[in-house]
Copies of this chain bind each other. A is one copy, B any other.
Amino acid sequence: MTIGIIGLGLIGGSIAMDLRISDFAKHIIGNDYNSKNIRYALQRALIDEVMDIKNMIEHVDLIILAVPVNVIKKMLPDLLHLIYDKTVILDTGSTKHEICQSVVKHPKRNQFVATHPIAGTEYSGPQAALTGLFNKKTVVLCNTEESAPEALKTVKKLYRQLNAEFIELPSDVHDKHAAYLSHLSHIIAFSLAKVALGFQKKSTENVFYMAGSGFSSTARLAKSSPETWLPIFQSNKAYLLEAIEGYLQKFMKIQKTLQEDDLEALCQYMAEANDIKKYINPNLA
């Protein structure tokens, strides 16, 4: 199968690496608006060759759209118009509802499969690409009833090469869950980084000697690229603001127990939060 990848960043690049190792992709054609990314992707042999999108369309069986979510939304309807009837497009965006809505009445909607592989790091660009990034990770497939069964089959086959697992969800439900379980964590990390950097500015010493593994873990996502995350926040604004509000209520509750020396309530709060042990995988943190 010949595969086109538009967007040679962390996600596009990591998919390329694993598709090369498996036999799924006989030939990979890349495209990126950033010429540095293209040079790097060629240097690392993530792709076989570069083409502009019009040319790419002539040669590929499947297109992976791994660009920021606002760019996916903008490109997808035109791309669908341009591709052959047997070509499949999948996207890898972290929000799904706006993207699905942008093509809901498109005559070639069924050639598109909306996916969100829950994998990544705080780094970006083809230099951050990793093999095995999707190993045992979850891929959410959204609104699959709107995709042709054959297209869906191809996309599942692709993700199986990466050793990923699937769940299927309506795009709106996906976005709500993503707000609480992924996007909020980024808002929190950005805010923690800002207050620590502000504190550093006012200090005469380097206060980061104190930044052990706890701070590094909690603030890690603050290294994430605004180019990727600004469009995600924007496109999931309503649910993200709901999650932010819910978080603020919890945060202010623990603040209040501390202000009022309500040690019993503070202890109970922490013990309840400890339940998170049941849900998060220690190997991921």
Residues of A within 8 A of B (CB): 118-122, 137-138, 140, 167, 169, 173, 177-178, 180-182, 184-200, 203, 205, 207-226, 229-230, 233-234, 237, 240-241, 243-244, 246-255, 258-259, 261, 263, 266-267, 269-277, 279-282, 284-285
Contacts and interface: CB of A to CB of B under 8 A. Distances in A.
How many copies of this chain does the complex contain? 2
Contacts of A266: 230, 233
Contacts of A186: 214
A215 to B, nearest CB: 5
Contact of A207 (B180, B190, B252): B180
Contact of A181 (B208, B234, B259, B270): B208
A188 to B, nearest CB: 6
Contacts of A269: 190, 194
A221 B212 contact: no
Nearest 4 A-B pairs (CB), nearest first? A181-B210, A216-B284, A193-B276, A185-B218
A240 B226 CA distance: 29
A216 B284 CA distance: 6
Contacts of A276: 193, 196-197, 219, 222-223
Given A180-B196, A193-B273, A250-B195, A221 B230 contact: no
A228 to B, nearest CB: 10
A150 to B, nearest CB: 26
Given A216-B282, A217-B218, 20 more contacts: A118-B212, A138-B210, A177-B210, A181-B196, A182-B211, A188-B218, A190-B273, A194-B269, A195-B249, A199-B246, A211-B280, A217-B220, A217-B221, A220-B285, A222-B274, A224-B274, A225-B274, A234-B261, A241-B258, A241-B259
Contact of A267 (B196, B230, B248, B249): B230
A246 B195 contact: yes
Contact of A137 (B181, B212, B261): B212
A280 B216 contact: yes
A197 B277 CA distance: 11
A137 B173 CA distance: 43
Nearest to A284: B216
A151 to B, nearest CB: 23
A95 B8 CA distance: 47
A278 to B, nearest CB: 9
Nearest to A236: B258
28 contacts: A140-B210, A178-B210, A182-B212, A185-B217, A189-B273, A191-B247, A191-B273, A192-B250, A193-B275, A194-B250, A194-B253, A195-B246, A197-B273, A197-B276, A198-B250, A214-B220, A214-B221, A216-B281, A216-B282, A217-B217, A217-B220, A218-B220, A218-B221, A222-B276, A223-B277, A224-B270, A233-B258, A241-B258
